[in-house]
Amino acid sequence: MRHRGQFSRSERVARSRLAKLLHNEPFLCGSLVSMRRVCGKEGCKCAQGELHPGLCLALRVGDKRKMIYVPQALEATVRRWVSSYQEAWELMEKVSQSCLQRFLRGKREIRVAKRQKAAERGKS
C-alpha cells in the first residue's frame, strides 16, 4: 500500500470524506421512488382516482428486489441515509478512477521497460 501522501490531492480528499462518511453516517443501499397509491378506505378520494402520494425505498434483499413503504415520519431520515449511500458511491467511483489511472500507468511502464530490455539484448 502506498503512503497517502503519494495520492493526488483529489484522491486524498475523496478517501478522507469517504472514511468519515462510512464511519459517522448511517446509510441505506437503495433508492427512493415516489408512488401514488390507494389507501383502501371506502369513500376516500383515492377510490375515485385521486391517489395518495407515497414514498418507497427500493433495495435489494439477498437476490430479490424489494419496495418498502416509507412512513412520512421517517421520510427525512431515510432520505438522509440514501443520500449518504449515494455520496459514498460517488466517492468510491472517484477513488476507483484514480486507482485505474495508476494501474494503467504501471502497465505502460512495464511495457516500456520490457521493450527497453529487449532492445538492449538486441544490441548485444
Residue with C-alpha cell 478517501?
15
Indicate the DSSP class of residue 4: G
Query: How far is Cα 93 from Cα 87, in angstroms, rounded to an integer?
Result: 10
The predicted-structure confidence for 25-67, as pLDDT tens digits, reads as follows: 999 999 999 998 888 788 888 888 889 889 999 999 899 999 9
pTM greater than 0.85 (yes/no): no
- Sheet strands side by side (includes 64-70): 30-37, 52-61, 64-70
What one-character-per-residue DSSP string does 64-115 give? EEEEEEE-GGGHHHHHHHHHHHHHHHHHHHHHHHHHHHHHHHHHHHHHHHHH
